[in-house]
Amino acid sequence: MHVNPLYAVLYVALGVLVIYRVVYKELRGTTLTRKSLVTIPIILVAVGVFTSLDALRTADTDELVLVGIDIVVLAVLGLLRSASTKLTAGGDTTFQKGS
C-alpha cells in the first residue's frame, strides 16, 4: 500500500497534537476557553471527513451501519470522559483537570 508522504506527515502531526492535548494537558490541567473547547474537535472532524470521503462514497449499507455504530460508541466514550473531568472556578476563569 502506497501512502502519500504529505498524508503521512499530516497523520504524524495530528497524532502528536492529539497526544499533547489529550494526555499532557488533561493530566496537567488547563483553563477553559471557547477556543480550546471548539478548535480540536473541529480539526479532528474535518480531518476525519476529508480522509474518509472516498471510502464513504463507495460504502455499502453494512459499512455505513458500522460507521454509525462507531460514531455512537465514540460519543458515549466522550461523554464518559467528560464526566471524569473536574472543573474548578478561579477568578475570572474555569480550570479543568482530567482524572
pTM reported for the whole predicted model: 0.57
Whether residue 98 is predicted with pLDDT greater than 80 in this model: the reply is no
Whether residue 68 is predicted with pLDDT greater than 70 in this model: the reply is yes
Tell me the average pLDDT across 69-83: 89
Contact 21, 40 (CB under 8 A): yes
Residue 95, φ and ψ in degrees, nearest 5? -110, 135
Tell me the average pLDDT across 5-21: 87
Tell me the average pLDDT across 23-28: 76
**Least reliable range by pLDDT among 9-18, 28-37, 56-65:** 28-37
Whether residue 99 is predicted with pLDDT greater than 80 in this model: the reply is no
